[in-house]
Chains A and B, each alone.
Chain A
Amino acid sequence: MEWYLPVIWAGLIGTAVMLYVVLDGFDLGIAILFPTTREEGERDQMMNSVAPFWDGNETWLVLGGGGLWVAFPHAYAIIMPAFYIPVILMLLALIFRGVAFEFRWVAKPRHKVWDFAFWAGSTVAAFAQGLILGGLIQGVKVVDKQFAGGPFDWFTPFTLMCGVGVVVGYAALGATWLVYKTEGPVAERARRQAKMLVPGLLAFAVLVSLWTPYAHPRIAERWFTPSNLMLLWPFPVLTAFCGYMAWKRLHGAHEFTPFAFTIAIFLLCFLGLAISNYPYLVPPGLTIWDTAATPAAHVFVLIGVTFLLPMILFYTAFVYWTFRGKVKADAGYH
């Protein structure tokens, strides 16, 4: 009980964060690509392709943050102050991007400023998420189960690289989503962009995969110990395969598979990072067991999750199904 509850919760929060990254990833991604067209109708089409979903997608971020608090209060209490500036930056950026969805339509024809807010908010939010991810991988200074570092500990070349990597990765998700959900010039341009962005995403994945074992012996040990390598070699191979398939399918006429393969790349990278760091939740010192909430709290919420998570997934699927198919010009309610 004491042993496996934190493992289950780590899995659940990992799932929530993963779902957030993929789902809000393409929302943020289409916004990152906003400046690549000046055509108002095309921007409408891009925004409409995610408008019915974005709010539900962003809720996974609340579940990720809230879940971390519920299940690992000590980790939550260290990570949030440690990344105070990037977290606040992300929240402020998400404010601009979130309200832009509604403000842009009401403000028309004077909506340029909200086009900018949509792009800048999404780009900064993605970048800040990369900073937090990178900062967590490189480790947090903890004394007595409390954050004991400085306000800019997260500011390193590695975290900046992760920030750019996440922006590029989300843009790749956004571009392949547009290939899948739109038609005409928007889809054609997105396909051209995806052909560059997917290799870009892979390049960053390679960079992180080389940098982290080089900088952190514990990660090198995890991957390159012969017995582990025997088990883990499919990860890089599968990632390369998915990248190749996404790229190849983009050169054909496929509409859905590039998006699916890009998601798969994200999934594999995420699993790779989890393997690198397990069982540490706040590297380098604190494991999921060190930071866990009391089993009573774990069980109480787990009971709810057992019933509610399938329901959530079911009605999320229902909403996606309701708004299936290509985005038409009259898709909005506006």
Chain B
Amino acid sequence: MEIDAFLLSRIQFAFTVSFHIIFPAFTIGLSAYIATLLGLWLKTGNPKFHLLARFWTKIFAVSFAMGVVSGIVLSYQFGTNWSRFSVAVGNVVGPLIGYEVLTAFFLEASFLGVMLFGWKRVPPWLHFLSAVIVAGGTALSGFWILSANSWMQYPAGHEIRDGIAYPVDWLQVIFNPTFPLRFAHMMTAAYLTTAFVVLATGARHLLAGHRTESAKTMVRMAILMIALTAPLQALIGDFHGKQTAIYQPAKLAAIEAHWDSSRPGALVLFAWPDEKAELNRFEVSIPGVASLLTHGSMDALFKGLKDFPPEDRPPVLIPFFAFRAMVGIGVLMILFGWAGAWLWKRGTVFEARSWLLIAKHSWPAGFLAILSGWFVTEVGRQPWLATGLLRSKDAVSPVTAAEVAISLALFVFVYCVVFAAGIVLINRLVEKGPDEISPEEPPEQPSQRPLKAAQAPAAAIFGDGRPGDDKIQPAS
């Protein structure tokens, strides 16, 4: 493989986007969690929710800053490193990014100021509203970027003239066939990822002997979220996979390491795919199951890579292994979440040391699953940048390999320094925990008096609300 501007630009984009995706995925989920906490506080008046909201807002601020600065890099890289992509599909993809900036970026960035600094400046309801707007803004940002990405996976609503894409039907462009499921898959992944970080934080403090109501609340809320969304995510992923069979059969063949078309297709559990020899080594497979899972029938044809000309095939190794990593983590998430729910129901979850110990170390689970998933879908899209329209190698900018080599080295250096520092600092905040970090001052009472009836169901989930549960009692 020749070391040229193309290869270096690919490595640079993969590196910068992989670093970036961690932070938006986390902040999409975390902003929703903070908005939920503030809403619960307004509703119940229980100060523990305020304590937790303040705590997570600090972590949110650090994460959001890292997401913003690493995201700007990407929006400029389309031009610096992939300028022919910008021209070839700019008429169609450009406006989607334009709408992302106009509808989401300004919204998030502006109300973030109110959310971070407005605790005393604005009334509680307006502060809550700002948190909701930030959460909505992050989700809206996900909407547009996933729409643009899905269009590249399977373009629709356009026509080609002289090698340049022109929009024909904007609704078809935005809601292109693979977009709805990919969006649902990504958003669920974001919420699930955040739930594991919250869970790990709560577990860490419980294990350290800080048996505070805030730590318990984090664990309870996270279990609820994981037990519900982890299986949901598996379901969405299954639909998404079935759809890939229709729209990107070559990608699916790579994911499953199928070289020859087969009827019915076997499910390859493990193998070492050999791309040169076009076969699998050390294969362990279950006959028929791939066809059953993908097409719902044991007689369905499962397409193999040899059905596609060699120049149109994606690499096999990365999609194959990354997919197995993602699914493996997903299955463990479901089992672990349900185990937690079962322990909670028995009333022993806060004493279950081994479960809490796993929980404490589970925080990277979501991030690893997300990165694996993105490697599956992006590498599986190769050799195309926009499937069927533009090959990656035809999209690179007229820049020299030396320029890209220098910028890549700088990105690796800067990201390692800055993001390592970020993780150390976030870890420091997590270590201190909500009870130490949030100031002693009792929060202002929300204007609305809590209603006993409304409080009851919330108390059942988030805490029994017995006197002595919290350090600060709501003034009544």
Contacts and interface: CB of A to CB of B under 8 A. Distances in A.
A73 interface: yes
Given A69-B97, A76-B90, A312 B69 contact: no
B109 A91 contact: no
B66 A322 contact: no
A36 interface: no
B119 A88 contact: no
B135 interface: no
Interface residues of B, number: 70
B105 A62 contact: yes
Nearest to B70: A95
Interface string A35-79: 000000000000000011101101101110111111101101111
B429 interface: yes
B91 A294 contact: yes
Given A65-B76, A66-B97, A319 B83 contact: no
Interface of A is mostly: helix
A65 to B, nearest CB: 6
A147 B110 CA distance: 36
Interface string A2-14: 0000000000000
Contacts of B78: 69, 76, 80
A99 B410 contact: no
Contact of A315 (B62, B91, B101, B110): B110
Interface string B101-138: 11101111111111011110110000000000000000
Nearest to A79: B79
A273 to B, nearest CB: 21
Nearest to A314: B110
Interface in A261-310: 293-294, 296-297, 300-301, 304-305, 308-309
B98 interface: yes
A99 B101 contact: no
Given A52-B116, A102-B62, A70 B121 contact: no
A58 B410 CA distance: 22
Nearest to B71: A62
A51 B410 CA distance: 27
B94 interface: yes
Interface in B72-92: 72-73, 75-76, 78-81, 83-84, 86-87, 90-92
A177 interface: no
B106 A91 contact: no
B99 interface: yes
Contacts of B79: 65, 68-69, 76-77, 79-81, 87
B114 A52 contact: yes
Contact of A308 (B58, B102, B111, B411): B102
A331 interface: yes
Given A91-B73, A96-B418, A102-B61, A85 B403 contact: yes
A94 interface: yes
B113 A65 contact: no
B399 interface: yes
A319 to B, nearest CB: 5
B90 A70 contact: yes
Chain B CB within 10 A, most for which of A67, A87, A91, A312: A91
Given A296-B91, A301-B95, A333 B113 contact: no
Contacts of B86: 69, 73, 76-77, 80
B99 A322 contact: no
A112 to B, nearest CB: 13
Contacts of A81: 79-81, 83, 397-399
Nearest to A89: B410
A95 B61 contact: no
A3 B69 CA distance: 36
Contacts of A78: 83
Contact of A333 (B117, B410, B418, B425): B117
B72 A73 contact: no
B422 interface: yes
A156 interface: no
Contacts of A241: none
Contacts of B111: 315, 319
A151 B122 CA distance: 50
A58 B117 contact: no
A51 B121 CA distance: 14
Interface string A102-140: 110011000000000000000000000000000000000
Interface in B197-247: none
A84 B91 CA distance: 23
Interface in B18-67: 57-58, 61-62, 64-66
A88 B83 contact: no
B98 A67 contact: yes
B225 to A, nearest CB: 26
Interface string B382-415: 0000000000000001111011001100110010
B461 interface: no
Given A98-B68, A102-B65, A107-B425, A305 B403 contact: no
Interface of A: 51-53, 55-56, 58-59, 61-63, 65-71, 73-74, 76-81, 84-85, 87-88, 91-92, 94-96, 98-99, 101-103, 106-107, 146-148, 151, 293-294, 296-297, 300-301, 304-305, 308-309, 312, 315-316, 318-319, 322-323, 331-333
Interface of B: 57-58, 61-62, 64-66, 68-70, 72-73, 75-76, 78-81, 83-84, 86-87, 90-92, 94-95, 97-103, 105-114, 116-119, 121-122, 166-167, 170, 397-400, 402-403, 406-407, 410-411, 414, 418, 421-422, 425, 428-429
15 contacts: A56-B113, A59-B105, A65-B79, A66-B100, A70-B97, A71-B94, A79-B79, A80-B80, A91-B73, A91-B76, A99-B66, A106-B429, A293-B91, A294-B91, A304-B99
Given A66-B75, A103-B65, 6 more contacts: A51-B117, A76-B83, A300-B95, A301-B98, A315-B111, A333-B117
